[in-house]
Structure 1
Amino acid sequence: MPVIEPAHVLLVTAAATAVVGAVVAWLAYQGYRRNDSQAMRFLAVGLVGITVVPFILNYGVAPVVGVSDATTLLAVLLANIAGLLSILYSLDGT
């Protein structure tokens, strides 16, 4: 019986999160273009910030640049905060 590595499961779930987040962000962006709704644009940016950017930072930028785990975690947390602030603005500010 083959053993499934936890790192592979983590990679697959992170990639699935990024793909689904990108699809939902694309739909929000289409809503922005169709209705000229600033709220939908900020929603799309926020979704990318909390789903796609952390995946790119964890699996793309960090291994290539060779930064520490703490620096990667800080960058991911900052992307999450920026994404959540954008979503908050889309729901409340526009």
Structure 2
Amino acid sequence: MSILQSYTLLDWSQLGVSIASVILGLIIGYQAYRGFRRNDSRSMQFLSLGLILLTAVPFTLSFTATLAIRLEPNLAGIQQELFLVVRLIQFVGLACITYSLYEKP
């Protein structure tokens, strides 16, 4: 049985939603970056950074780590540390968004 056949419909659905979330996160972050470049607004810069850190980076990191753990089960020991890193990245993203909302022009 090949490795691709061992995945269920739920696994493929989660993969599709994760990839779509990364793409949407990058699109939103890019649009905020364009707003920063157009208006030279520091708050838009932090907003775009926060959105990318909140969406695209954690999903990509989680997907890559999950794939690595499935292919190499010995890596399962780093799962808790990886979970912490993903949560820290999301926290920094939220902090950037919060800063962008309160920064003076």
Indicate the RMSD between aligned Cα atoms, in angstroms. Answer: 2.1
How far 1:72 sits from its partner (Å)?
1.8
For residue 77 of structure 1, the aligned residue among 63, 87, 93 is 87
Rounded to whole Å, the distance in 2 between the matches of 1:24 and 1:15 is 14
Indicate conservation of the 8 Å contact 1:49/1:79, yes or no.
yes
Indicate conservation of the 8 Å contact 1:57/1:75, yes or no.
no
Alignment size in residue pairs: 91
**Structure 2 unaligned spans of 5+:** 1-7
Identity %: 34
TM score, norm. by length of structure 2 = 0.78
Quick one: which amino acid aligns to residue 37 of structure 2?
R
Indicate conservation of the 8 Å contact 1:47/1:83, yes or no.
yes
**Structure 1 unaligned spans of 5+:** none
Return the index of the structure with the highest Cα Rg: 2
